[in-house]
Amino acid sequence: MPTQAPRQIAPALLSPALNRRHVLVGSASALAAAGLSTWSPCAAAQAKPLPAFASWKDATATIVHSATTIETKRSAFGSSVITPTEQLYVRNNLPTPDAAVVANRDAWEISIEGVGKPRTLTLRELKTLGLETVAMVLQCSGNGRGFFPSKPSGTPWTVGAAGCVVWSGVPVRAVAEALGGVDGGMRFMTGTGGEKLPEGLDPKSIIVERSVPASAMVDALLAWEMNGVAIPLAHGGPLRLIVPGYTGVNNIKYIKRLAFTAHETDARIMSHGYRVSPPGGKGDPSQPSVQEMTVKSWINSPGPDSTALEKGRMQVGGVAFGGMHAVKRVEVSVDGGKTWADARLVGPDLGKYAWRQFVLDVRLPAGPHVLASRATDVMGNVQPQQRLENAAGYNNTSWADHALTVSVA
């Protein structure tokens, strides 16, 4: 099936707060009735093929933006909490390592520094030190960038640069304890990706190396398994740093070095990349780094690929997460945010770092409807209506941007 491109809906049909980019769903006749042109498969852009290292991904559930950026389709998020690995998004900043690195996983080596007895450990040795499992939302800092009217450069993800994944590995604190504890004065935990760096460039300008506050080690894992299988190469196998609650980039794939450090790394991806800078500006170390996620939700069903929605009863559902704090409440609006009703949280609660699925039983008459969701975490933080404008299009949690316009026949 060709990918259906998001379409612009006539602004007059939207409430003033929602006059931005929205996705239209509904039967061809409903669209025609609303005075809108219908989508034709012939006019759709040719879908790009999956790259070789991720050829096993589900092509029907994903949107291939480039050879290193693959998004989950909004309509493909199921209602079973966990995002299947073959549907999960992929984002690689550098060429993916050779598949040889996952041929002998247990031989993978990681150097642990900034501890009493720094040393290199193999994955086989790590597995002897501890085991923990965490369900966590993995979300790219740029998820929702596609909703910024300023069209920041970078992948125009809508909602699908995110998924809820179960990770298994050894707690970072168990590794630190086994090696004599973290040295005094180390305020950061710095992870380095093991990609082979392209030659002729300053390594600091391209290496994937990120620092997070050392306090994040409390729940961090060095993980070798995701969703019950050894971490595939595309997702950072054989070994990945998992920092629950922190945006995607802080979860270092192919990790080859974990260092407790006094200062943040001066790698460019840390010092200038992934900074929340003013519109039109450039990132620099004085600006906030993208780190902890905040409360967010969106509706997936009925999704943008739904057709022929019939008037009457339906279940409006989606996902909600708090980043660092559990979600307490999700409200849904079917009138673009004028009125809200409490949705029901469904399915198992896999902990504060996982997302919750929500659903609201609604009755919709014929016509266009603007569906929105708004989550609140246990600390009382409410998902905002507006995005925080910034140059690179990071951290979009706006409920208005994530609203969906559906057309009911």
Ligand X SMILES: Nc1nc2c(c(=O)[nH]1)N[C@H]1C(S)=C(S)[C@@H](COP(=O)(O)O)O[C@H]1N2
SS3 363: strand
The residue within the footprint of ligand X, chosen from 13, 82, 90, 123 (CB under 6 A), is 90
CA distance 362 to 301: 12
Which of 93, 122, 271, 277 binds ligand X (CB under 6 A)? It is 93
Of residues 208-247, which lie at the interface with ligand X (CB under 6 A)? 208, 235-236
- Residue 323, phi-psi category: left (phi > 0), alpha (psi -120 to 50), beta (remainder): left
Minimum CB distance to ligand X smaller for 162 or for 214: 162
The smaller minimum CB distance to ligand X, of residues 267 and 324, is found at: 267
Cis peptide upstream of residue 279 (ω within 30 degrees of 0): no
Distance, CA of 198 to CA of 13 (rounded, Å)? 50
Q: Which of Mo ion, ligand X, none lies near 138, with the C-beta cut-off 5 to 8 A by kind?
A: ligand X
Q: Does 92 bind ligand X (CB under 6 A)?
A: yes
Tell me whether the omega of the peptide bond preceding residue 213 falls within 30 degrees of 0, making it cis: no
Site string for ligand X, 191-210 (x = CB under 6 A): --x-x------------x--
Q: Which two tokens stand for residue 40?
A: 């034709």
Under DSSP, the state recorded for 124 is H
Could you tell me how many residues make up the chain? Answer: 409
Per CB under 6 A, 248 contacts ligand X: yes
Beta carbon nearer to Mo ion, 89 or 399: 89
Token pair listed for 113: 């520094």
Residue 240 neighbours by CB distance under 10 Å: 24
Q: Per CB under 5 A, which of residues 266..285 are in contact with Mo ion?
A: none
Counts for the chain of helices (H) and strands (E), in that order: 5, 22
Q: What is the C-alpha separation between 268 and 249, in angstroms, rounded?
A: 13
Whole-Å CA distances, 115 to 176, 182, 244: 6, 4, 22
Which DSSP string corresponds to 31-44?
Answer: HHHTT-PPP-GGGS
From the list 97, 114, 248, 303, which residue makes contact with Mo ion (rule: CB under 5 A)? Answer: 248
Answer for which of 31, 76, 112, 140 binds ligand X (CB under 6 A) is: 140
User: Which one of ligand X, Mo ion, none is in contact with 92 (Cβ closer than 5 to 8 A by kind)?
Assistant: ligand X
- The distance of closest approach from Cβ of residue 120 to ligand X in the complex, given in angstroms and rounded to an integer, is 18
Residue 269 CB neighbour total at 10 angstroms: 20
Site string for ligand X, 42-81 (x = CB under 6 A): ----------------------------------------
- Residue 246 per-residue DSSP state: B
Among 91, 145, 253, 402, binds Mo ion (CB under 5 A): 91
Which residue stretch of 83-91, 124-132, 353-361, 388-396 sits at the interface with ligand X (rule: CB under 6 A)? 83-91
* Site for ligand X contains 275 (CB under 6 A): no
71 or 264: CB nearest Mo ion: 71
Instruction: For Mo ion, give the closer residue by CB, 108 or 274.
Output: 274
Total Cβ atoms within 10 A of residue 78 = 15
State yes or no: residue 146 binds ligand X (CB under 6 A). Answer: no
Residues that bind ligand X (CB under 6 A): 88-94, 138, 140, 193, 195, 208, 235-236, 248-249, 251-254
Residues that bind Mo ion (CB under 5 A): 91, 140, 248-249
